[in-house]
Amino acid sequence: MSDHPLLRVSAVTKFYGSRVGCRDVSFELWPGEVLAVVGESGSGKTTLLNAISTRLMPTSGTVEYCMRDGKFRDLYRMGEAERRFLMRTDWGFVHQNPADGLRMTVSAGANVGERLMAIGDRHYGNIRSSATQWLDRVEIEADRIDDQPRDFSGGMRQRLQIARNLVTGPRLVFMDEPTGGLDVSVQARLLDLMRGLVNDLGLAAIVVTHDLAVARLLSHRMMVMKDGNVIEHGLTDRVLDDPREPYTQLLVSSILQV
Amino acid sequence: MNTHTQLATYNFAYLDEQTKRMIRRAILKAIAIPGYQVPFASREMPMPYGWGTGGVQVTASVLGPDDTLKVIDQGADDTTNAVSIRAFFQKVANVEVTTRTADATIIQTRHRIPEETLTDGQILVYQVPIPEPLRFLEPRETETRKMHALEEYGLMHVKLYEDIARNGHIATTYAYPVKVEGRYVMDPSPTPKFDNPKMHKSRALQLFGAGREKRIYAIPPYTDVVSLDFEDHPFEVQKFDEPCALCAAQGVYLDEVILDDHGGRMFVCSDTDYCEKRRDEGHVGPLAGDSAETAQ
């Protein structure tokens, strides 16, 4: 393990006018670690994710990222060009709705290859073979490479979105409800796939979810949010097996048992 | 022009001087930043959008009383668009007009670059329908501007990738994207990609006007213009199997002309001036002379 974290979040606060999005959130994320952010709708999970991933400027607080050269940089003090470059090479962002993260009108192969072309790959054969490899890794048949995502099922779209994000070998992936809107068996398959990929690639990830099962399966640590505040923070198994805060206890006990 | 008894009802080349000044400033800026789309306050012109309102405004702003104007549409001097714009400038500017490429100082064009190599001092004005090369992949103007500003042009190759994936080769044949002076990616207006190499290091000044989209951009003389491609699918221009049926020219862009309803056809130069000039010089194609009979 490396001796310094990958991402350092200090006192990130976001206000929407006088309303609180998230308040005073601080944590560190280590390389290869998966952090789940759980909580009910409106608890500030997505606001926090957007504030960390530079998609939404926080009202106060800093987010520092350890670049590949080992130096920490404050994300909101970087130039826009550099930040966008970081977002499409060293980071990934998996949206809840695959249509937000994919180009629905270009083929699956081009969707996966876009990031490669964006960083200057100009060899069609190489781009196509990486796309084929990645489709295989996310269990999409090679003969679907020239089909458009709109011809894909919801689960396939989500897997394609993951492949598109991972093709440049990112070190950090943000996921916003990656299994939302999928039926249970597809969810299970996707989670299994994501767990495999995260382990194989040593990815660090921040997963926002309201589904405690997703947190249990994927994450090492978790944060529980309520009304914009982090109310509990710890190892996933500890938090789920021995919740301390009344709200977390309520959350854990309200999972339906079949 | 005006005497004491006459009110000012006419200004040279249709536009008033303040408007021309505004357009010239946009043109100067465009020349200073090759390939960059400069917004300008496009005026309403006495013709519909899509007929070359952008090109006409640019021409009106650079035209002087000593200029000789040539107007072409799809390479031809005698099609509706070319004839009306030529007549327009004869009427509002009383300038000399010509169909000969070599004699013209300003050439307004739609869809073609003349076959004859342009020289120093000539200005080629393009009519542009959609100036943004990234438009069909990225519909947001805010985003495409940002992409130009940050030089994020990966998306342009996504389009070419799609072409190869679907057709086995780059099937874009017109409005083929180019990179100007190693910086801005530009749409060369709907000219066939056959003409792209002519833009590279051209000795003439090239101005692009998009009236509806309110953008002007330019390629100064002797500027690098490189067509985008992949290493394993390099840029290629169209090739024609046969020479021009009228003037036997080879290595020029040809139009297909249907001769009858039994599948008869011929391929002739799309640049009518070039074709006539060659015929005057004595070049004879296989269908020259008897094309009239065949048509009957």
Give the pLDDT confidence score for residue A187 in this predicted structure. Answer: 87
Give the pLDDT confidence score for residue B151 in this predicted structure. Answer: 92
Long-range contacts of residues B190-193, Cβ cutoff 8 Å, at least 24 apart: B190/B111, B190/B129, B191/B111, B191/B112, B191/B113, B191/B126, B192/B111, B192/B112, B192/B238, B192/B253, B193/B227, B193/B235, B193/B237, B193/B238
**Percent of chain B surpassing pLDDT 90:** 85
SS3 (DSSP) at B148: helix
> Residue B158: its chain A contacts at CB < 8 A?
103, 106, 110, 113-114, 117
Average pLDDT over residues B36-63: 94
Give the pLDDT confidence score for residue B6 in this predicted structure. Answer: 61
Q: How far is residue B56 CA from its own chain's centroid?
A: 12
pTM above 0.90, yes or no: no
B35, B52, B54, B211: which is the annotated catalytic residue?
B35
The predicted-structure confidence for B10-47, as pLDDT tens digits, reads as follows: 789 999 999 999 999 999 999 999 999 999 999 999 99
Give the pLDDT confidence score for residue A40 in this predicted structure. Answer: 87
C-beta atoms of B161 and A84 within 8 A: no
CA distance to partner chain B, nearest, from residue A118 (Å) = 4
> Residue A132: its chain B contacts at CB < 8 A?
none
pLDDT for B293 beyond 70: no
Rounded to whole angstroms, the Cα distance separating B213 from B93 reads 26
Give the pLDDT confidence score for residue B5 in this predicted structure. Answer: 61
- Is B244 designated active site? yes
Q: Which residues of chain A have pLDDT under 50?
A: none
C-beta atoms of B162 and A115 within 8 A: no
Rounded to whole angstroms, the Cα distance separating A198 from A193 reads 9
CA distance to partner chain B, nearest, from residue A179 (Å) = 27
CA distance to partner chain A, nearest, from residue B166 (Å) = 7
pLDDT band at B50 (very low <50, low <70, confident <90, very high): confident
Give B164's DSSP letter: H
Average pLDDT over residues B242-256: 93
Give the pLDDT confidence score for residue A258 in this predicted structure. Answer: 62
Among A84, A107, A122, whose Cβ lies nearest the Cβ of B162? A107
Rounded to whole angstroms, the Cα distance separating A67 from A56 reads 20
C-beta atoms of B155 and A123 within 8 A: no
- Is B182 designated active site? no
**Percent of chain B surpassing pLDDT 70:** 95
pLDDT for B4 beyond 80: no
C-alpha to C-alpha distances, B93 to B15, B107, B136, nearest whole angstrom: 10, 15, 38
Instruction: Find the closest chain B residue to A103 by CA distance.
Output: B137
**Number of residues written out for chain B:** 296
Among A81, A115, A127, whose Cβ lies nearest the Cβ of B161? A127
CA distance to partner chain A, nearest, from residue B134 (Å) = 13
- Is B35 designated active site? yes
Give the pLDDT confidence score for residue A228 in this predicted structure. Answer: 93
> Residue A113: its chain B contacts at CB < 8 A?
158, 161
- Is B251 designated active site? no
Q: Tell whether the torsion through CA atoms of B274, B280, B283 and B288 is positive or negative.
A: positive
Size of interface A-B (CB pairs under 8 A): 56
For residues A195 and A220, is the Cβ–Cβ distance under 8 A? no
- Cβ neighbour number for residue A63 with a 10 Å cutoff: 18
Give B102's DSSP letter: G
Give the pLDDT confidence score for residue B98 in this predicted structure. Answer: 95
- Is B285 designated active site? no
Give the pLDDT confidence score for residue A124 in this predicted structure. Answer: 95
Give the pLDDT confidence score for residue A184 in this predicted structure. Answer: 85
C-beta atoms of B166 and A146 within 8 A: yes
Give the pLDDT confidence score for residue A181 in this predicted structure. Answer: 78
Rounded to whole angstroms, the Cα distance separating A252 from A179 reads 19
C-beta atoms of A107 and B157 within 8 A: no
> Residue A145: its chain B contacts at CB < 8 A?
165
C-beta atoms of B154 and A128 within 8 A: no
Token output for A143: 């003969």
Q: Which residues of B touch A (CB under 8 A)?
A: 137, 146, 150-152, 154-155, 157-159, 161-162, 164-166, 229-233
Rounded to whole angstroms, the Cα distance separating B7 from A71 reads 73
φ and ψ at B177, to 5 degrees? -65, 140
Helices then strands (H, E): number in chain A? 10, 10
Give the pLDDT confidence score for residue B147 in this predicted structure. Answer: 93
Closest to B283 in 3D by CA, of B238, B252, B240, B241: B252
Give the pLDDT confidence score for residue B10 in this predicted structure. Answer: 78
Among B151, B165, B230, whose Cβ lies nearest the Cβ of A109? B165
Left (φ > 0), alpha (ψ -120 to 50) or beta: where does A227 sit?
A: left
The predicted-structure confidence for B108-137, as pLDDT tens digits, reads as follows: 999 999 999 999 999 999 999 999 999 888
Give the pLDDT confidence score for residue B296 in this predicted structure. Answer: 42
